């Protein structure tokens, strides 16, 4: 189950609205898609770390034409070229890595809208993101979604230098 992050922990993610998209080179076609893991340095340069929380399912795209050019549920003006996504429950500002399981293309997006409202779909992305994921012509694809966290809110692993229990 996806845990909701405290709103304050997301304040750093909201500042990352202008982060650039990182595309992956597709791996050799072996008949089954394999997810390519980005080097930690690339996520770290954006101030993000992997949460380890993932989900997958059908992903579709939408555009200014399909949403009537309106604002998103978060109040932002929708842009076809924004690296943004709509999810039913993730808090606005949540950063996610979306990987197209058909070709291993991957982008980092920010949740700024609600949806999708079509049964069986887990995520809507901007048409610009769909082009980067290479499914804009098809309209729907299966994706893996990983929730990313601001680096400063990630749990710190214990170095083992002090005993637990506070002696």
Q: Which structure tokens are listed for 115?
A: 């949806």
Beta bridge partners of 143: 57, 100
What pLDDT does 90 receive?
97
Q: What's the mean pLDDT in 2-8? A: 39
Predicted confidence (pLDDT) per residue in 16-68, tens digit: 333 333 333 333 444 444 444 455 567 888 899 999 999 999 999 987 766 55
Predicted confidence (pLDDT) per residue in 107-151, tens digit: 999 999 999 999 999 999 999 999 999 999 999 999 999 999 998
Per the confidence metrics, is the pTM higher than 0.85? no
Predicted confidence (pLDDT) per residue in 10-26, tens digit: 333 333 333 333 333 33
- Which residues lie below 8 Å from residue 42, measured CB to CB, with a gap of 6+? 22
Predicted confidence (pLDDT) per residue in 78-107, tens digit: 888 889 999 999 999 999 999 999 999 999
Q: What's the mean pLDDT in 66-77? A: 79
Residue 109 CB-density burial (10 A; 0-12 exposed, 13-18 middle, 19+ buried): buried
Q: What homologous superfamily is domain 12-25+43-151 in, according to CATH?
A: RlpA-like domain (2.40.40.10)
Distance CA 13, CA 150 (A): 6
Give the residue extent of every domain in the chain.
12-25+43-151
SS (H, E, C) 67-113: HCCCECCCCCECCCCCCEEECCCCCCCCEEEEEECCCCCEEEEEEEE
Distance CA 44, CA 64 (A): 32
What pLDDT does 145 receive?
98
Tokens 């770290």 belong to 44
Give the DSSP H or E segment for 147.
strand 140-150
């Amino acid at each position: 189950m996806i845990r909701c992050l405290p709103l304050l922990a997301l304040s750093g993610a909201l500042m990352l609205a202008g982060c650039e998209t990182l595309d992956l080179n597709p791996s050799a076609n072996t008949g089954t898609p394999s997810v390519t893991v980005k080097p930690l340095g690339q996520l770290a340069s954006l101030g993000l770390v992997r949460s380890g929380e993932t989900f997958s399912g059908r992903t579709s795209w939408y555009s200014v034409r399909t949403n009537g050019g309106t604002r998103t549920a978060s109040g932002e003006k929708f842009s076809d070229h924004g690296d943004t996504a709509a999810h039913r429950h993730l808090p606005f500002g949540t950063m996610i890595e979306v990987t197209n399981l058909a070709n291993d293309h991957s982008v980092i997006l920010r949740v700024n809208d609600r949806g999708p409202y079509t049964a069986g779909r887990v995520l809507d992305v901007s048409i610009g993101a769909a082009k980067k994921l290479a499914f804009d012509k098809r309209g729907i694809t299966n994706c893996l979604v990983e929730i990313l966290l601001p680096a400063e809110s990630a749990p710190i692993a214990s170095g083992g230098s002090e005993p637990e229990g506070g002696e």
